């Protein structure tokens, strides 16, 4: 069977087979997600949902299906991971049943180093039929700072252990030497054995399920159905693009800085719609930066696809849906990072802003389909401390913020990062586990850009160190350039980070949203305000009853409503 034969047969796939195969492949990846999540040790995977599972084409590496619980950003990243493994193996050795490769290489098929992928060849009746892969966020991957978010890093080596595709399992057996090499280079290594096992078990489950599907339909029919799924997803995407007026739409937004140089970074997008084709050209964006805000090409491309999927949620996730969209990011751009540029800000920060910038461009073509500017910064706050009772610890905080208002309603408050589905840890759990007291966790008043439909609110949180000393590192954004209003709606409020010292002094980081190892004493308070969403439509058009409700609720103290 060849790809060309699959394509020829694709048109003849009967509708029932097509519907059932698409549903079954979706369910297989859903089950892989669930199995991984329920057995993982890393709380970021188990509780934060920072994982993905998928099935990839054996020859091209293209994504066939991704789990519905998978973190959105991995939509198009993981197929590059699969391609990377295919390429690294090609000409060197053959895949064998029971092989599993481990990889976190950020420049091709990667995100930040903490996202560790495993890729397994799947054999059906003796032939390589597909690749199965998953990824999960490990709490640590070595490097200069615990947790991996080194705000002032200038090389990837400071960010942690880099793993090109290497064989971790051979004939279903874990390679003990490779394992020891990895464990010797990361913090708190033991639970990672459990994570690897969870990852492996989930891949095995996927293989068992695929066996069932192969038995039921046979390989040729299955391959043809997959080829047809690609065709249909492409058709759906094209039909959506066609609904936008042809034209060239330009939008530019700025990130505060890269954490090393004080200058802003530009994300500059020229989006062209021509019939059912779309081109997204980032050529005029900033060049590669010194600090950790470089984004690997896979991550950049994937963020673009996530943005489109937010606008057209009904497009199925497979490589067919990517075909109508051409994404141009030249070498040398900070959105196409090359080794050894540091990248830890890409996944949580740059990718979100790419999504927001894509919205900004699309909104010019069809504002009614888009939300106004979103908060778009996760604000990664990592506090390392030493406590008499707890010993050494790492407290990791991250934040939601306001979504932009849209044609249907106000934006939601404390929404999840746009590229993520990871929820926040409850404040009571933070207090249980760490020597901190949460002084308040409330709506950030006045943060939602006003408008016919106002933006959602950011979060206002203050957390006090109770014992010992600590150092706080910060990797966030949106401190200088606010989420922008749409159709006359007002902008949302910017991110704000401060340390309120016990003696009354207030510290604001020189880079506003980036900092590394700032010292804290007991009684000091970290005060974080996440950005609010922007408004949709002019404030003058806001309905009277909505204004009265806003006033009654006290969302905008000091403002005439």
Helix, coil or strand: residue 46 = helix
Scan residues 396-455 and list those touching other proteins (CB under 8 A).
398-400, 403-404, 406-418, 421-424, 426-429, 431-433, 437-443
Q: Rounded to whole angstroms, how far apart are CA atoms 547 and 80?
A: 48
- Main-chain dihedrals φ then ψ at residue 303, nearest 5 degrees: -60, -40
Closest CA to 359 of 347, 348, 369, 349: 369
Measured between alpha carbons, how far is 81 from 133 in angstroms, rounded to an integer?
9
| Backbone phi, psi, residue 280, to 5° | -120, 110
User: 108 with 84: CB under 8 angstroms?
Assistant: yes
Between β-strands 277-281 and 325-328, what pairing exists: parallel, antiparallel or unpaired?
parallel
The piece of 24-32, 76-84, 342-350, 539-547 that touches other proteins (CB under 8 A) is 24-32
- Size of residue set near other proteins by CB under 8 A: 86
Closest approach, Cβ 412 to other proteins, in A, equals: 5
Q: Which of residues 264-323 bind other proteins (CB under 8 A)?
A: 306, 309-310, 313-314, 316
In the set 19, 181, 184, 543, which binds other proteins (CB under 8 A)? 19
Cis-peptide, bond into residue 340, ω within 30° of zero: yes
Q: Is 324 in the site for other proteins (CB under 8 A)?
A: no
| 63 in contact with other proteins (CB under 8 A) | no
Q: CA 71, CA 552: separation in Å to the nearest integer?
A: 37
**Would you say 159 or 410 has its CB closer to other proteins?**
410
SS (H, E, C) 257-282: CCCCCCCCEEEEEEEEEECCEEEEEC
Pick the piece of the chain touching other proteins (CB under 8 A) from 37-45, 155-163, 256-264, 480-488. Answer: 37-45
Residues numbered 66 to 105 that lie near other proteins (CB under 8 A) are 68-69, 72
> Parallel, antiparallel, or unpaired for β 496-500 and 525-529?
antiparallel
Q: Which string of x and - marks every residue 356-395 that binds other proteins (by CB under 8 A)?
A: ---------------x--x---------------------
- Supply the minimum distance, in Å, between the C-beta of residue 89 and other proteins: 29
Residues 225-244 that bind other proteins (CB under 8 A): 232-233, 235-236, 239-240
Which residues, numbered 457-476, are part of the site for other proteins (CB under 8 A)?
459, 462
Taking the complex as a whole, how short is the minimal distance between the CB of residue 326 and other proteins, in angstroms? Answer: 21
Which one of 7, 31, 279, 547 is in contact with other proteins (CB under 8 A)?
Answer: 31
Cβ contact 114:163 at 8 Å: no
Q: Could you tell me the smallest distance in angstroms from the CB atom of residue 428 to other proteins?
A: 5
Nearer to other proteins (CB atom), residue 142 or residue 373: 373
Considering only residues 473-532, where is the footprint of other proteins by CB under 8 A? none
Query: By three-state DSSP, how is residue 87 classified?
Result: helix
**Residue appearing with tokens 């990846």:** 29
Beta carbon of residue 104, minimum distance to other proteins (angstroms, whole number): 22
Under a CB-based contact definition with an 8 Å cutoff, are residues 465 and 523 in contact?
Answer: yes
> For residue 418, what are its two tokens?
């746009």
Complex with other proteins: residue 257 or 352, whichever CB lies closer:
352
3-state secondary structure 446-500: CCCCCCCECCCCCEEEEEEECCCEEEEEEECCCCCCCCCCECCCCCCCCCEEEEE
CB of 335 to other proteins, least distance (A): 22
Q: Does 22 bind other proteins (CB under 8 A)?
A: yes
Q: Which residues, 190 to 209, sit near other proteins by CB under 8 A?
A: 190-191, 193-194, 197, 205
Query: Residue 547: CA atoms inside 13 Å, Cβ hemisphere, count?
Result: 12
Q: How many other CB atoms are there within 10 angstroms of residue 469's CB atom?
A: 13
- 217 backbone dihedrals φ, ψ, rounded to 5°: -110, -20
- Cβ proximity to other proteins: between 20 and 365 the closer is 20
* Options 17-25, 54-62, 99-107, 175-183: segment touching other proteins (CB under 8 A): 17-25
Measured from the CB atom, the residue of 166 and 236 that comes closer to other proteins is: 236
* Residue placing its CB nearer to other proteins in the complex, 237 or 265: 237
Q: Give the nearest distance from C-beta 431 to other proteins in angstroms.
A: 4
What angle do helix axes 190-217 and 219-242 make, rounded to 10 degrees? 100
Phi, then psi, of 162 in degrees rounded to 5: -100, 125
Token pair of 351 as six digits = 């990718």
For residue 34, state whether it binds other proteins (rule: CB under 8 A).
Answer: yes
Nearer Cβ to other proteins (338/442)? 442
């Amino acid at each position: 069977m060849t790809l060309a034969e699959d394509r020829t047969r694709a048109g003849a796939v009967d509708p029932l087979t097509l519907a059932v195969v698409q549903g079954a492949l979706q369910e297989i990846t859903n089950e892989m997600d669930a199995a991984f999540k329920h057995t993982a040790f890393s709380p970021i995977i188990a509780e934060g949902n920072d994982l993905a599972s998928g099935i990839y084409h054996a020859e091209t590496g293209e994504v066939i299906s991704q789990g519905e619980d998978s973190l959105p950003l991995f939509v198009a990243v993981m197929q590059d991971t699969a391609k990377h493994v295919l390429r690294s193996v090609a000409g060197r050795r053959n895949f064998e049943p029971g092989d599993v490769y481990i990889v976190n290489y950020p420049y091709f098929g990667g995100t930040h180093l903490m996202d560790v992928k495993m890729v397994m060849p799947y054999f059906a009746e003796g032939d390589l039929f597909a690749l199965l892969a998953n990824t999960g966020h490990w709490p640590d991957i070595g490097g200069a700072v615990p947790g991996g978010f080194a705000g002032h890093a200038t090389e990837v080596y400071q960010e942690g252990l880099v793993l090109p595709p290497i064989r971790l399992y051979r004939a279903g057996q874990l390679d003990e030497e490779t394992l020891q090499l990895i464990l010797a280079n990361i913090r708190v290594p033991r639970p990672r054995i459990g994570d690897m096992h969870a990852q492996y078990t989930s891949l095995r489950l996927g293989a068992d399920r695929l066996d069932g599907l192969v038995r039921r339909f046979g390989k040729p029919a299955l391959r043809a159905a997959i080829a047809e799924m690609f065709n249909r997803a492409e058709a759906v995407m094209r039909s959506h693009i066609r609904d936008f007026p042809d034209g060239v739409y330009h939008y530019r937004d700025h990130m505060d800085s890269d954490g090393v140089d004080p200058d802003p970074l530009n994300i500059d997008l020229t989006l062209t719609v021509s019939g059912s084709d779309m081109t997204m050209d980032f050529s005029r964006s900033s060049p590669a930066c010194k600090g950790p805000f470089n984004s690997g090409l896979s991550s950049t491309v994937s963020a673009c696809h996530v943005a489109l999927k937010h606008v057209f949620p009904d497009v199925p996730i497979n490589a067919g849906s990517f075909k109508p969209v051409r994404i141009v990011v030249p070498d040398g751009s900070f959105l196409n990072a090359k080794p050894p540029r540091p990248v830890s800000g890409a996944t949580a920060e740059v990718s979100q802003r790419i999504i927001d910038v894509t919205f900004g461009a699309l909104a010019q073509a069809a504002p009614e389909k888009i939300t106004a500017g979103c908060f778009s910064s996760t604000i990664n706050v990592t506090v390392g401390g030493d406590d008499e009772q707890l010993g050494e610890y790492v407290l990791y905080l991250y934040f939601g913020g306001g979504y932009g208002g849209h044609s249907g309603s106000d934006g939601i408050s404390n929404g999840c990062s746009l590229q993520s589905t990871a929820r926040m840890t409850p404040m009571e759990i933070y207090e249980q586990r760490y020597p901190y007291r949460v002084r308040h966790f409330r709506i950030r008043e006045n943060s939602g850009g006003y408008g016919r439909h106002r933006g959602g609110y950011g979060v206002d949180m203050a957390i006090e160190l109770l014992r010992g000393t600590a150092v706080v590192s910060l990797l966030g954004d949106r401190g200088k350039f606010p989420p922008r209003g749409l159709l006359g709606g007002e902008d949302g409020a910017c991110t704000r980070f401060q340390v309120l010292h016990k003696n009354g002094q207030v510290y604001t980081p020189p880079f506003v949203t980036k900092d590394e190892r700032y010292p804290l004493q007991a009684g000091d308070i970290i005060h974080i305000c996440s950005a609010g969403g922007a408004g949709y439509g002019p404030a003058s058009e806001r309905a009277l009853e909505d204004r009265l409700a806003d006033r009654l609720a006290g969302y905008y103290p000091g403002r005439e409503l």
